[in-house]
Amino acid sequence: METNVNATNNDKGKTVALVLGSGGARGYAHIGAIEILQERGYEIIAISGCSVGAMIGGVYAAKKLQSFKDWATGLDQLDVLRLMDLSLSSPGAIRGNRVFSFVRELIGEISIEELSIPYTAVATDLLAHKEVWFQEGPLHQAIRASVAIPSLMAPVILGERLLVDGGLLNPLPIFPTISSHADIILAVNLGWENGANIHLSDVYDDNEESKLGLWVEKFKTKASSLFDKDIEKDLLERTQASENESDLKRFKVVESSHKLPFGMIDIMNLSFEAMQSALTQYKLAGYPPDVLVNIPKHACKTFDYHKAPELIQLGRELTEKALISYESK
């Protein structure tokens, strides 16, 4: 009898609605967050996710997280390179077919309605300029739509909708979990600025020479050349049309001195993350969660999908710290 009373007391306040944010390779930290919640006796009764958060959350809801973790932690840089499925012809630099073939095979043809807990994947409809919440239908389709980073990954066409990454409008989708009646809402934010701006050295390391890094640079150079040809043509036309000598000198300065140490893909990614950071702060102000786990933005770089073990451990440590702080209150 006493054991039952203790069990009831221990379970009090232990149901969680989990919000998993957008953030590329940092999304592996979501796995660590889920593991700590389970180890500390919390029951996840609802999940809302965006982009990589929708993927990790969906895999967990389909009860395939351990298999996904085993696969992710076994990837090296060359494995990631093979999975990227790069393209210069599709409406995105990365088709993503190879990664999603694995994810689809892993979770099967399960629908969201069949999951054991309520699940929401957030995508963005570019044509309607609004969020789209997937709360029914094929799980693999919801995940694929939610992760389609604009200009980097091909969008998903579904009926009259053109769907891309939900992080474009809502990188930390807290609102879908409010109706879950969980004891607490815990959100994992993958874009924490850590109180300071990100420095150039955090996104570009001049001394880093890995096979993946060198290969990506070659790809970005090739991809950027498609844009650069148009830029050079425009620059030439503007220069020839100008009758002002100072304009001519100014154009020459731009052409000769502005050699950035990163390419078009880097610029797109940094622009997307800057927008997400502002949106996340807005969402947190409107719907503050009970527990917020902040994963530093500089924890890894864009293509660091081979760093699953380190990022999972980071997620574990920061989630445990946040829960201990919450429980102490």
Task: Give the active site residues.
Answer: 51, 165
Which residues on neighbouring strands pair with residue 20, listed in sequence order?
49, 188
Q: 260: helix, coil or strand? A: coil
| Residue with token string 């969980």 | 182
Strand boundaries in 258-323, DSSP class E? 291-296
What does the alpha-carbon distance between residue 192 and residue 280 come to, in Å, rounded to a whole number?
A: 9
266 in Cβ contact with 37 (< 8 Å): no
Residue whose C-alpha is closest to residue 327's, from 222, 195, 135, 183: 183
**HEC sequence for 184-250:** EEEEEEEEECCCCCCCHHHHCCCCCCCHHHHHHHHHHHHHHHHHHHHHHHHHHHHHHHCCCHHHHHH
Sign of the dihedral through C-alpha 206, 318, 171, 70:
positive
Within 13 Å and on the Cβ side, how many CA atoms surround 163? 23
What does the alpha-carbon distance between residue 123 and residue 166 come to, in Å, rounded to a whole number?
A: 4
Q: 48: helix, coil or strand? A: strand
